[in-house]
Structure 1
Amino acid sequence: MSVDIDTVKRVARLARIAVTEEEASQMTGKLNAILGFVEQLGEVDVEGVEPMTSVIPQSMRKRQDGVTDGNIADIIVANAPASEENFFLVPKVVE
């Protein structure tokens, strides 16, 4: 893929960035170099490579996934103007 000056100007306009003609021509070369590097990454054979979270082998610490009420319902509703059985009471807005 190749980027031309019109594309650079369009992207700059969409990003609301003011660019001069000279800046647009410089960005054209830089963006083409970046896209060339990205295309090189697509040529790398990653068949059989496991995804990594870190360069150092480690296992992820995971907590037990369980549903709780947090055991602080009474603290949560303490500042509410009106509550009943740890639920917020709100005025009726729909008839």
Structure 2
Amino acid sequence: MMVTEELVRRVAAVARLDLTKDEVEKFTSQLSDVIKWFDELEKVDTKDVEPSFHPLKTENVFRDDEPGECLSQEESLSNTSHKEDGFFKGPKSV
């Protein structure tokens, strides 16, 4: 694909950008370089490469969950008047 100054002006107009002549020339050159980089990437043989959503393997860095001591239901509700049938009762949200 050839990036022309006219194409840069049309894209700028769609994006509602006012570009100076110098900016149009600069962006034409920069976008041409980007397109060339993509052309180089298309030459890479990827037929044996599995698709991935993340280039690096990610691991969970959190600690394992370990059950600990906790309050009973009765103790949890002992300091509130906002309770009903053994549960906390909050304001209606819908």
**TM-score after normalising by structure 1:** 0.57
> Which residue does 1:30 correspond to in 2?
30
1:62-87 CA-partner distances (Å, limit 9, x unpaired): xxxxxxxxxxxxx7x9345xxxxxxx
Q: Distance in 2 between matches of 1:54 and 1:25?
A: 34
1:57 CA displacement? 7.0
Task: Find the structure with the greater CA-based Rg.
Answer: 2
CA RMSD in angstroms, aligned pairs only: 2.3
Q: Does 1:15 align with 2:12?
A: no
- Counting only pairs closer than 5 Å after superposition, residues 44-83 of structure 1 correspond to structure 2 as 44-52=44-52, 53-56=54-57, 78-80=92-94
Question: Structure 1: 5+ residue runs without aligned partners?
Answer: 59-74, 81-95
Runs of 4+ in 1 over 2 A off after TM superposition: 77-80
Identity of aligned residues (%): 29
**TM-score after normalising by structure 2:** 0.58
Q: Distance in 1 between matches of 2:92 and 2:45?
A: 59
1:14 CA displacement? 0.4
Count matched residues: 64
